[in-house]
Each structure stands twice: as C-alpha cells, then as structure tokens.
Amino acid sequence: MRQVFLCLFCFYSLFGNMQREIKNRIVPNVFFTPEQLELEMIFNSRVKIGGKWYRVNDNIFNFVIKKINMQNIVLEDSMKREWILKIRD
C-alpha cells in the first residue's frame, strides 16, 4: 500500500506541474487572420479598428500596433512578423 501511495505521489508531482505549465502558456489562435480586422479611420496618430480607438504600442487581438502611417498601420504578431493593415478604398 505504501508503494502504491508513493508511486501515485511521484506521478502526480511530475505530471501535475506539467499540466499547470501548459495552462499558463499563451497559445496563439491559428484560425485568426488579419483580414478580420477592419481599419475604419486614422486620426491624430490614433486608429479606429472595430469601433475602438488605439495608439502605437496598444494590443489588439494577438497584435501590437507598431507604426501608424497616413493610409495604413503596421502590426506585429507574437512571432515578430509585421503585417500591414490598410484602409479600404
């Protein structure tokens, strides 16, 4: 009985911590695409996306706004890739 308890305790201590680590990790949404974002307006170094106003270095979904230009904005994802979001014509 003692060996079973010791075996269960070791199993839980090894794999219980692993489960907690997975819960705390940020997992990117692989089904999300930047086309779902709609840039509505650029005004005074602020942008309106989806009815909300943002500035440089603000987070929106899994992106950070890195640069705001006259006709587009530059977004950076968690893997440091840059995306350009343009105003529709």
- State mean pLDDT over 37-60: 91
Q: Bridge partners of 76?
A: 64, 82
**58 φ, ψ (degrees, to nearest 5):** -80, 150
Separation of first and last alpha carbons in the chain: 74
Q: Is it the case that residue 89 has pLDDT exceeding 90? A: no
Residue 60: both structure tokens together: 């929106």
pLDDT value of position 68: 95
Q: Is it the case that residue 33 has pLDDT exceeding 60? A: no
Residues contacting 75, CB < 8 A, separation 6+: 34, 37, 60, 63, 64, 65, 66, 82, 83, 84, 85
Q: Is it the case that residue 46 has pLDDT exceeding 60? A: yes
Q: pLDDT: is 6 or 83 the higher one? A: 83
pTM of the model: 0.58
